[in-house]
């Protein structure tokens, strides 16, 4: 958690210094990246996928999208265990988001 807090401070400093807007999901994306031990850009890509499908960007749906994009590296049970450890009400949301992502990518 301390590493995430430090990255948040660095991100806010960078945005103020270079006059770049950080979106409101910045902390959430950093948290998911640190929880699943994946690079931040893959979480950004997952958030773009959620936005294009029309889903809200919250913790369970972001976990589902990261899992969906990184299937070979992450197991379903590992992602659910992270979700349970964070004690988020989201097992059902995770499954719904995962099924919507699968359906939407089949259509495109």
pLDDT tens for residues 55-78?
788 888 888 888 888 877 777 777
Q: Are 62 and 74 in contact (CB under 8 A)?
A: no
Domain chopping of the chain, boundaries: 28-107
Give me the mean pLDDT over the 74-85 stretch: 73
- Statement: residue 107 has pLDDT above 70: no
Residue 55, classified by CB atoms within 10 Å of its CB into exposed (0-12), middle (13-18) or buried (19+), is buried
How open is the CA angle 93-97-103, to the nearest 5 degrees?
145
CA distances from 108 to 39, 52, 65, 93 (A): 26, 11, 16, 23
pTM, rounded to two decimals: 0.66
- pLDDT of 20 reads 58
Predicted confidence (pLDDT) per residue in 4-47, tens digit? 566 666 666 666 665 555 677 888 888 888 888 888 888 888 88
């Amino acid at each position: 958690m301390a590493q995430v807090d430090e990255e948040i401070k660095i991100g806010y400093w960078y945005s103020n210094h270079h006059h770049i807007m950080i979106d409101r999901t910045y902390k959430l994306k950093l948290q998911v990246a640190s929880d699943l031990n994946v690079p931040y850009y893959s979480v950004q890509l997952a958030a773009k996928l959620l936005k294009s499908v029309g889903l809200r960007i919250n913790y369970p749906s972001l976990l589902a999208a990261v899992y969906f994009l990184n299937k070979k590296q992450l197991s379903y049970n590992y992602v659910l265990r992270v979700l349970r450890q964070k004690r988020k009400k989201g097992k059902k949301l995770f499954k719904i988001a995962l099924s919507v992502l699968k359906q939407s990518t089949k259509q495109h």
